[in-house]
């Protein structure tokens, strides 16, 4: 059963027993307990969860999900893009967010990073709301995630070097020599050479734009990486090598990754779980095998078309 019902919070009152029971039965599959030893970076709260206070009657807080969207609704004019959307992503997951064009995937990513405020509901990142905690706290929170936007979104007037340096200059107080070392390190992480730093975005191939955008997303050493269509527009070879790069970086750095993609090869090669955005909510959340069994027009079309079956065979599914 992969229909997604987030677990009810202990503080939540009442509610319908049926859905609570269903949530409980799916929780072990969809939301495994987030143990401190789980791979996925050094979240301060994990340490807190592991050290109960002796003599205290307070319950030990569980490690919060890296992303938690609850009761999220989004309206543009008269159109509701999301209605009562719920999603929880735990540390160390590589989640592919799939859905039809215009279903609201990019909008959801923009809300997760605080570029857009939902009409209703709340998003927490690393257990904290994005807004309302003061400028310093927001600044610290923003350093914990990196984003690769749908079109790469490099600053066209800045060189590659200055694009990658941008978040370092914006959010950290570092001297230029340190910035230079860090930019070179990030370029090498995405397999670019120091001399590529001098190029302007207009001089880059599509694959290089993606690599530079990834280097910029990694600049602040994030724990959470959000990638919007990272392989769109790349030829199959470049797409494969970009997927390998993301996989090895996320494993090495212990990242939690949210990846929007239409590309089944990318999805199959990278994701540990799939979240299907349809009917204005997360319709299903689970493993590829679980999701593929669901009888829904979008899912059937996405995973069972002739093209899709070929792509899945290629990766042995
Ligand atoms: N700032 C905005 N103002 C008004 N409408 C918007 C805005 N941003 C997005 N929309 C609308 O919200 C809907 C969802 O857009 P979104 O870009 O999130 O879709 P998507 O799932 O990412 O699509 P695609 O797969 O084509 O990238 C679309 O109908 C879009 O026109
Ligand atoms: Mg989009």
Does ligand 1 have an atom closer than 6 angstroms to the CB of 105?
yes
The whole-angstrom separation of Cα 127 and Cα 130 is 9
**Between the CA of residue 98 and those of 29, 51, 103, 243, 282, what are the distances in Å?**
19, 38, 9, 17, 10
Nearest residue (CA) to ligand 1, atom 9: 107
Residues with CB under 5 A from ligand 2 (ion): 106
| Cβ atoms < 10 Å from Cβ of 95 | 21
Sign of the CA dihedral running 236, 240, 243, 249: negative
State in Å: Cα 257 to ligand 2 middle: 16
**pLDDT for 66:** 95
Residue nearest to atom 16 of ligand 1 (CA): 104
**How far apart (Å, rounded) are the C-alpha atoms in residues 255 and 224?**
6
SS (H, E, C) 302-316: HHHCHHHHHHHHHCC
Which amino acid residue places its CA nearest to atom 24 of ligand 1?
Answer: 101
**The pLDDT value given to residue 62:** 67
pLDDT for 239 equals 86
- Looking at residue 59, its pLDDT comes to 55
- Give me the pLDDT at residue 48, please: 36
Cα distance between residue 175 and residue 172, in whole Å: 9
Residue 104 CA, closest ligand 1 atom number: 18
d(CA 234, CA 117): 31
> For ligand 1, what atom is nearest to the CA of residue 77?
4
pLDDT at residue number 120? 95
Per-residue pLDDT of the chain (317 residues; tens, 9 = 90+): 445 554 443 333 333 333 333 333 332 223 333 322 223 333 333 333 333 334 445 555 568 899 999 999 999 999 999 999 999 999 999 999 999 999 999 999 999 988 899 999 999 999 988 777 777 888 888 889 999 887 768 999 999 999 999 999 988 888 999 999 999 999 998 889 999 999 999 999 888 898 999 999 999 889 999 999 988 888 888 888 888 888 888 888 899 999 999 888 888 888 999 999 999 999 999 998 899 889 999 998 888 777 667 766 766 66
The pLDDT of residue 241: 85
By alpha-carbon position, which residue is closest to atom 8 of ligand 1?
Answer: 107
């Amino acid at each position: 059963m992969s229909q997604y019902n987030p677990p009810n919070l202990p503080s939540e009152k009442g509610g319908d027993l049926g859905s609570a029971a269903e949530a409980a039965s799916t929780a072990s599959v969809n939301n495994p307990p987030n143990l401190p030893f789980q791979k996925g970076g050094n979240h301060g709260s994990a340490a807190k969860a592991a050290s109960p206070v002796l003599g205290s009657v307070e319950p030990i807080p569980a490690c919060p999900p890296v992303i938690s969207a609850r009761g999220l609704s989004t309206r543009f004019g008269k159109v509701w893009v999301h209605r009562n959307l719920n999603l929880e992503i735990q540390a160390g997951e590589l989640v592919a967010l799939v859905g039809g064009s215009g279903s609201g995937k990019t909008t959801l990513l923009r809300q997760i990073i605080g570029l857009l405020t939902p009409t209703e509901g709340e998003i927490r990142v690393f257990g904290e709301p994005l807004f309302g905690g003061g400028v310093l706290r927001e600044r610290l929170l923003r350093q914990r995630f990196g984003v690769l936007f749908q079109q790469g979104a490099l600053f066209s007037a800045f060189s590659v070097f200055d694009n990658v340096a941008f978040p370092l200059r914006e959010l950290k107080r570092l001297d230029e020599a340190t910035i230079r070392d860090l930019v070179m390190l990030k370029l090498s992480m995405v397999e670019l050479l120091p001399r590529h730093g001098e190029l302007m975005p207009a001089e880059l191939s599509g694959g290089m734009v993606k690599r530079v955008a990834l280097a910029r997303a990694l600049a602040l050493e994030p724990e959470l990486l959000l990638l919007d269509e990272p392989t769109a527009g790349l030829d199959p070879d470049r797409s494969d090598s970009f997927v390998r790069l993301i996989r090895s970086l996320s494993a090495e750095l212990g990242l939690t990754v949210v990846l929007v993609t239409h590309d089944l090869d990318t999805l199959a090669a990278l994701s540990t779980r799939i979240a299907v955005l349809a009917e204005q909510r997360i319709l299903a959340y689970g493993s590829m095998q679980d999701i593929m069994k669901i009888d829904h027009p979008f899912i059937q079309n996405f995973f069972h078309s002739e093209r899709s079956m070929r792509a899945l065979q290629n990766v042995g599914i």
